[in-house]
Structure 1
Amino acid sequence: MSDTRPILFFDSGVGGLSVVAPTRALLPHAPIVYAADSAGFPYGTRSESEIAARVPALLGRLVERYRPRLAVIACNTASTIALPAVRAALDVPVVGTVPAIKPAAEMSATRVIGVLGTEATVRQPYVDDLAARFAGDCVVLRHGSAALVELAEAKLAGEAVGPAAVAGALAGLLEQPGGERIDVVVNACTHFPLLADELAAAAPSGVRFVDGGPGIARRIVSLSAGQDWAAGPDVLVFTRFGEHERRVAAGLAFARVEAL
């Protein structure tokens, strides 16, 4: 019999869909459960202690309900704060999401890279460590933007995203001293690739954006190598189901929508 266990993706909102897309391209038959902690959204403005307590507890409930073969924390903020605790608490493999500083440094010609994430992510010591290990010869500028997270959520809910709003959020990174030399920007929030076109239009010519989605997808393939897949109904889960969540769900091709 084919294996019906899904891959579980978890984020505070819809940002993790930017990780689902490259995973689906590599594993087209994998059943997926996508869980959005809409009741806790946004994580980027919450304290580390709140996230450290909330994320392992929620993932424990999700794993108990859906029995996935592996879980993906498709959120940089949750991963940089809670990944070790989640791995200790769960009995399934857990894949985290961390800022793609290493590939950004490999791509950069100017040796000045930007890290664009949430306020919680960009201040984490984990980011300091990644910069020291993989971009030691680069200037690494950071900016946390709650506005871009909200804009990505609005876009997935079918709302228009004004270019001025995206440009204003990006300016917080590019207008720092030395920001004019940035040639690679790390999208250190899974929401931001959902605004790829808008960010590219707002950025100066020659600036490239990189995110961890494709690398995470390859890691999922590696961890599930040799396993059977049975196509099943993809499930979208919210921890709160209000009007925003209804609009988001209406635009996505999930067979079932559930509340946790």
Structure 2
Amino acid sequence: MSDARPILIFDSGVGGLSIAGPVRAALPRAPIVYAADSAGFPYGTKSEAEIAARVPALLGRLAERHHPRLIVIACNTASTIALPAVRAALDCPIVGTVPAIKPAALLSRTRTIGVLGTEATVRQPYVDDLAARFAADCTVIRHGSAALVALAEGMLAGVAPDPTAVRAELDGLFDQPGGAGIDVIVNACTHFPLLEPVMAAAVAGVAPGLRFVDGGPGIARRVAHLTQGQDWPDRPSPHRLVFTRLDAREAAIGRSLAGYGYAAPERL
């Protein structure tokens, strides 16, 4: 018997697509509702109180409308601030996204790791805890970048990212004391894997062999584990794309995603 309940993937913008891709690859028959809080974008410059109030309320509305079997908060900022409140409020499995410091520490040879996220994420005590638990023998250098988030959003709306601007943001890591030793960067914002080819090219001359890691593959494995043995539709319909504001930018993003199996965007 087929079960049409979707997996709901939520982010402030398009960054969660870097999570949706691995989830779709792991579960090709799973219907996806991708929800972006475009009216509240960006989260990285908001206060903890704003995010803690906004995210559970929005996910409550989305859960009532779409009846998901599982929700992925595909946003490091929202996860590090609002995940406990969302789990307490909703009666379905909730998977959060946290900076991939553990796999970065396993990869690093220089024992110097860069954590590149939003301003709100990199200042969270949760990141301190991850570094202490999994990278205690490493130097962990952090940088918060709202500009990279905007560049990733613009790219999905059809505006090519400026390599000079990308390099300037990465210099926020490399120019810190000890930054020249960074050999692994944690993409601690789900927007940033979308820019990874541009970021790698921007620093190829000064950081050969630099590697990037993110939480997408691990989250996909977690979602597959939590839904193991469940039924899926025999013929899944197009994935749904939901925005809290639907203006010209969101319409352009919808056109970009049409070829990836997403239906025309709708408004929450």
Contact 1:166 1:202 in 2 (8 A): yes
In the TM superposition, residue 94 of structure 1 has moved relative to its aligned partner by: 0.2
* TM-superposition CA deviations, 1:174-198 (whole Å, max 9, x none): 1101000000000000000000100
**Structure 2 CA distance for aligned equivalents of residues 29 and 149 of structure 1:** 30
Q: Which residue of 1 aligns with 2:225?
A: 222
Q: Which residue of 2 aligns with 1:91?
A: 91
Whether 2:115 is the aligned partner of 1:115: answer yes
Q: List structure 1 segments (4+ residues) > 2 angstroms apart after TM superposition.
A: none
Other structure's SS at 2:82 match: helix
**Structure 2 CA distance for aligned equivalents of residues 189 and 161 of structure 1:** 17
Contact 2:12 2:41 in 1 (8 A): yes
Aligned residue among 212, 216, 220 for 2:215 = 212
Other structure's SS at 1:72 match: strand
**Structure 2 CA distance for aligned equivalents of residues 130 and 78 of structure 1:** 16
Q: Which amino acid is 2:47 matched to?
A: S
In the TM superposition, residue 34 of structure 1 has moved relative to its aligned partner by: 0.3
**Structure 2 CA distance for aligned equivalents of residues 167 and 91 of structure 1:** 43
Query: Sequence identity, in percent?
Result: 73
Q: Which residue of 1 aligns with 2:81?
A: 81
**Structure 2 CA distance for aligned equivalents of residues 201 and 145 of structure 1:** 18
Contact 1:233 1:256 in 2 (8 A): no
In the TM superposition, residue 256 of structure 1 has moved relative to its aligned partner by: 3.8
**Structure 2 CA distance for aligned equivalents of residues 58 and 129 of structure 1:** 28
Q: Which residue of 2 aligns with 1:66?
A: 66
**Structure 2 CA distance for aligned equivalents of residues 37 and 255 of structure 1:** 17
**Structure 2 CA distance for aligned equivalents of residues 8 and 123 of structure 1:** 27
TM-score, length of structure 2 as denominator length: 0.96
**Structure 2 CA distance for aligned equivalents of residues 170 and 141 of structure 1:** 12
Whether 2:140 is the aligned partner of 1:135: answer no
Q: Which residue of 2 aligns with 1:257?
A: 265
In the TM superposition, residue 232 of structure 1 has moved relative to its aligned partner by: 2.5
* TM-superposition CA deviations, 1:139-192 (whole Å, max 9, x none): 000000000000000100111111101001111011101000000000000000
Superposed, 1:117-196 pairs within 5 Å as 117-196=117-196
In the TM superposition, residue 108 of structure 1 has moved relative to its aligned partner by: 0.4
**Structure 2 CA distance for aligned equivalents of residues 175 and 12 of structure 1:** 29
Contact 2:251 2:265 in 1 (8 A): no
**Structure 1 CA distance for aligned equivalents of residues 123 and 62 of structure 2:** 28
Aligned residue among 243, 253, 256 for 1:248 = 253
Other structure's SS at 1:177 match: coil
Q: Which residue of 2 aligns with 1:239?
A: 244
Contact 1:11 1:36 in 2 (8 A): yes
In the TM superposition, residue 258 of structure 1 has moved relative to its aligned partner by: 1.1
Other structure's SS at 1:50 match: helix
TM-score, length of structure 1 as denominator length: 0.99
